[in-house]
Amino acid sequence: MLLFVVEIVIMILAILLGLRTAGALGCGIFAIVAQLIMIFGFQLPPGSAPVTAVLIILSIGIAGGTLQATGGIDYLVYLASKIIERFPRSIIFIAPIIVFLFVFGVGTANIALSLEPIIAKTAVKANIQPKRPLTASVLTANLALLCSPAASATAYIISVMAGHGISMGQYLSIVLPTAIITMLLLSVFCTFVGRKTAVTESEIAHTPDVEVTPSFSKKVKIGVVAFLLCVVGILTFGIFPELMPTFKVDGKEVALTMTEIVQFFMYLSVAVNLLLQKINTSDILSSNITQSAIGALFAVLGPGWLGATIFNAPENLKIIRDDIGKTIQSVPWLVIILVAVVAMIVISQTATASIMVPIVMSMGIPPMYFVAMVQTLNVNFVIPAQPTILFAVSLDETGRTRPTSFIIPGFFAVIVSVIVGFTLKMILGY
C-alpha cells in the first residue's frame, strides 16, 4: 500500500511540474519521464498507451486548425457578434447560448476568447455589468466543451466509455441536457445574485467604436458548412449506431467504431476545405486550435500511459479493487469530491480526464455514474489560470470582474450539473 501511495505522489508531482514548466505539453512529457521511474525503479510492467484517444485528438486538432486557417472561425465569430449585439438587454442569456452553440460545434472553449470583447462592449452599452454575461459565458464554454463531439476532452472520455459499452448517444443523452439546463440556471443565477448597481460613466473608458464589416468569400462559408455537417455526421452515427456499416471478417460481423467515425469525418472536413482554398499547411499547424490540440494530445498520452502503468499493475489493481474500491463503492459521492479536487489543481479538462477516468473505472464505479458527474471536470476556476477567465478580467472596463468572480457561480454550475445529471440518469434508467 505504501509503495502504491508513493507511486501516485510521483505521478501527481510529475504532472504538476510539467504543467508549471510547459503547460499541457510539459504535463505529457514529464508524465512519460515518470513512466521510466515506474518501470525501472518500481519494476511495474508498462501499461498500454491511449493511442486511440491520441489519434482522435489529432484529427480534431487538424480539422479545427484548417477551419481557422481558412477564416472559417472568423466567420463564425462575426455571425455570433451580430446575434449578441442584436439583443443587448438579454445579453446575460443570449451570450451564453451563443457561446454554447459555437463551442459545441467547433470543439474548443477558446472560441469564447473572440466573443468576450463583443459581450463586454454590448453589456456596457445596455447599462449591464459586464461581469454578469462574461461570467456566465466563460463558465458556459466549459459546460459545452464536455458535450462537443469535436472536443478533445469529450473524445477521450467517449473513447474510454466505448470500452465499457457506453455509446456516444447514451453519453449525450445525459450530458447534453444537463449542460443546457445548467447553462440556463447559471444565467438566472448571474442575473439575480450579487450587487445590481448600474454601470456609471466614470467606469467606462470612452474609446470611439470603429465598425469594420469584414468580407468572407463563398468558399469560406461553404467550408464552415462542411465542417458543421461533419460534426452532425458524427452525432448522427453516435446517436444511431445501427447506421454503422458492418463487414464480414473471418466469419464474424465487424462494425465501425465511433473512434473511427470521428476521425473519418474530421479528416473529411479537412479535405473539403483544402479543395476549396489554397492553404499554407504551416498555417494549419501553427494555428491556435491545432497547437491546443497538440498540447491536449500530450496531456492525454503522458498521464494516460502513466496511469495505465500504475493502476493496471497487478498488485496495485488488487489494492484498488479490494481496499479503495470497496470504500468508494460504499460512499460513491467521494468520487465527485476527488475528481473536483484534481480538476481544481490540474485545470485542463483533458488532462484531468486522462488522469481520473482510468482511476474511477478501476475502482468499479459504474460508467454512467461518472457520465452523470462529468461536469466536475470543470472545477478549473478556483485557480485563475484559464485564458478565458484572465481575458474576461482584463476586458471589463468597470473593473468589477475579478479572478475570484467565477468561484461562486462556478460551484453553483457544478453542483447544479451533478444534481441534474444524476436526476436524468435515474429518469433514463441507466
Please tell me the total count of domains within the chain.
1
pLDDT in tens, 81-138: 888 888 888 999 999 999 999 999 888 887 888 888 999 889 888 888 899 999 999 9
Q: What is the pTM of this model?
A: 0.83
pLDDT in tens, 268-283: 999 999 999 888 889 9
What would the DSSP string read from start to end of 131-188?
HHHHHHHHHHHHHHHTT-TTSHHHHHHHHHHHTTT--HHHHHHHHHHHHHHHHHHHHH
In 312-406, alpha helices (H)? 314-319, 325-330, 334-346, 349-362, 367-372, 387-395
**pLDDT of amino acid 275:** 94
Q: Count the neighbouring beta carbons within 10 Å of the beta carbon of residue 209.
A: 7
Segments forming the whole domain that contains residue 47: 1-428
**pLDDT tier at 207 (50, 70, 90 boundaries)?**
very low
The whole-number average pLDDT for the span 284-291 is 90
CA quadruple 420, 327, 168, 23: dihedral positive or negative? positive
SS3 260: helix
Closest listed residue to residue 429, CA positions, set 377, 374, 376, 366: 366
